[in-house]
Amino acid sequence: MPAAIDVIHPAYLIAALSSVLYGSGDFAGGLAARRGFAPLVTWFSGFAGLAVMLVAIPFAPGTPTPTDYAWGAAAGACGAAGATLIYYSLALGPVSVASPTFALVGLSVPVVVGFAFGERPSALAWFGVALAALAIPLISWTDSAGPHSPAHVRRTVIVSIGTGLVIGWFLVFVARIGPGAGLVPLALARGVAIVVLSVVLLALRVPPRMPAGTRLMASSAGALDSAANVAYFVAVQQAPMALVSAIVSLAPATTVLLGRLWLGERWSVPQRWGLVAALAAGACISVG
């Protein structure tokens, strides 16, 4: 039994935790964006996310280089756009279209970039990546797309593709931060995201007032997202970016589960198979 446990790299367990945190944060942010302007929700959530980072910094000290700060700033700009687009696409709906689309596109970017930088995962690990790609659309496949017109669904797909590209590059930028940098560059990323969104809101003349009943959800989204970023950063310093990103991209599994528990949504047969595929994908990537 101990030998079987030893083959599972701790980084993959941390990546799985990151996936759960990302899925929970997306769900909370999507709920808030149904009642509030998505960039405003992201801006407000950023302060809770920054607070989490500031608390976590002493537990992961480091010595960032100027390059680390540059990657952190780039991640912050992507994070501002990515979180806003996630909340917007989920609020736009249907979630069964938005969530698997941006997750699958977001997965492809780190995998391709990691392969280009020389990462060569095993065949079993690549099989796990393929299962992850299969699981993502399945776990969000409902019996019906709902009352949305084909034009609306096409719009959601387009927005979600753009969302996935931004998410993917955010994961790449975070992975480029050096292992000795600590969490300061991630805190910088949060600060940059807040500044970028502040400029956007000022340009759009949007008053910084959250609708009643959305503040707690938005704050929860920011805190969960920052915790997920920390977990992803720790995991990607210890294991290949392609595999860690594949596990993290299973976040829609958490979103689907929360939809069932919180909103009373029922799982379709494809969703049940998707959850099984997600568990199998995580096992293959971890062992491989």
**pLDDT tens string 67-110:** 999 999 999 999 999 999 999 998 887 777 787 788 878 877 88
N- to C-terminal Cα distance for the chain? Answer: 18
- pLDDT greater than 60 at residue 39: yes
Tokens linked to 97:
């279209």
- pLDDT greater than 60 at residue 5: no
284 by DSSP, 3-state: which? helix
Percent of the chain with pLDDT over 90: 42
Name the residue with tokens 């609306």. Answer: 152
Greater model confidence, 42 or 140: 42
Tokens linked to 58:
């002493």
Torsion (CA) 125, 272, 24, 234 in degrees, nearest 10 = -10
Q: Give pLDDT, residue 114.
A: 81
What span, in angstroms and rounded, lies between the C-alpha atoms of 196 and 184?
A: 18
Tokens linked to 23:
């899925």
For residues 268 and 114, is the Cβ–Cβ distance under 8 A?
Answer: no
Confidence of residue 4 (pLDDT cuts 50, 70, 90): very low
**pLDDT tens string 208-256:** 888 888 999 999 999 999 999 899 999 988 888 878 888 887 888 888 7
- pLDDT greater than 70 at residue 161: yes
Name the residue with tokens 């060569």. Answer: 120
Question: CA Rg, the chain, in Å?
Answer: 18
Domain residue spans of the chain: 12-287
**pLDDT tens string 167-190:** 989 989 998 999 889 999 999 999
Tokens linked to 167:
């998410």
Q: What is the DSSP letter of 58?
A: G
- pLDDT greater than 70 at residue 145: no
Q: Give pLDDT, residue 155.
A: 86
Q: How many CB atoms lie within 10 A of CB 75?
A: 29
What's the whole-number mean pLDDT along residues 137-164? 75
116 by DSSP, 3-state: which? helix
Give the helix/strand (H/E) hosting 248. Answer: helix 241-248
Residue 204, burial from CB neighbour count under 10 angstroms (0-12, 13-18, 19+): exposed
What span, in angstroms and rounded, lies between the C-alpha atoms of 241 and 243?
A: 6
Tokens linked to 36:
């509030």
Name the residue with tokens 């009943």. Answer: 213
Q: What is the DSSP letter of 79?
A: H
Whole-model pTM above 0.75? yes
